[in-house]
Copies of this chain bind each other. A is one copy, B any other.
Amino acid sequence: MNKIITISRQFGSGGRTIGREIAERLGLPCYDKELVEKTAGATGFSEDYISEEAEYAPNTRSFAYSFLGRSLDGLSNSDRIWLAERKVILSLAEQGPCVIVGRCADYLLRERADCLNVFIHASKEFRADRIVRLYGETAVNPLKRLEEKDKKRKLNYRYFTDREWGKSENYHLCLDSGYLGIEKTAELILCAAGGSHGNE
């Protein structure tokens, strides 16, 4: 059985809900917001700041902005948060089986043979509908919100991992939660995690 399941997901695809569901079914801890709390503890940054900053790749900010918060060691706040989160994730993985949502965990734990790496995506219509139901309307059109979030995650992933976010070859399992449904998506991940596999 896989010891660690990492879940990468498009905004609004239900990845967080699915992560909680499979962790509960397997009796494992699920790390998502907990990673932010632990990173806050390690860096001194606030949880809100980390949540926001962790989605930006430094080079997506303006040139002027990129100097703000950059200290003499040349590290930006994004870099500092990345390094702290990396430490938190590697240490949690050492502690035992778990589910980790987001934060490039698939890349950070790439040396481990006991990780099942999952990517969850869905059509824009499905996700737009879902974020309005879950998070409410905002002044920004839901499709625009999706595109901005996805773009940030993609650039962030590219900046820190030099790999392409959502490229099927980077994951063991990619699932369309809009088409399959949230329940079936969770079931498929449990099925993939449960049995023997080629590497064992």
> Do residues A199 and B171 form an inter-chain contact, with CB atoms below 8 A?
no
Q: Which residue of B166, B191, B197 is within 8 Å of A181 (Cβ)?
A: B197
Docked-complex contact A197 and B184, CB < 8 angstroms: yes
Task: Give the CA-CA distance A189 to B45 in the complex, in Å.
Answer: 44
Say yes or no: A121 contacts B198, CB within 8 Å: no
17 pairs, A vs B, C-beta closer than 8 Å: A126-B198, A166-B167, A166-B168, A166-B169, A167-B167, A168-B168, A169-B176, A172-B175, A173-B173, A173-B188, A180-B198, A181-B197, A181-B198, A184-B192, A187-B191, A187-B195, A191-B191
Grouping DSSP codes into helix (H, G, I), strand (E, B) and loop, the A interface class, with mixed when no group exceeds half, is: mixed
**Min distance, Cβ A29 to any Cβ of chain B, angstroms:** 24
When distances are taken between beta carbons in the complex, the residues of chain B under 8 Å from A166 are 167-169
Contact in complex: A171, B168 (CB < 8 Å): yes
Question: Is A181's CB under 8 angstroms from B196's CB?
Answer: yes
Interface centre among A171, A175, A179, A181 (most CB of B within 10 A): A179
Within 8 A of B (CB), among A124-171: 126, 166-169, 171
A97 interface hit (Cβ, 8 Å): no
Chain B residues with CB under 8 A of A197: 179-181, 184
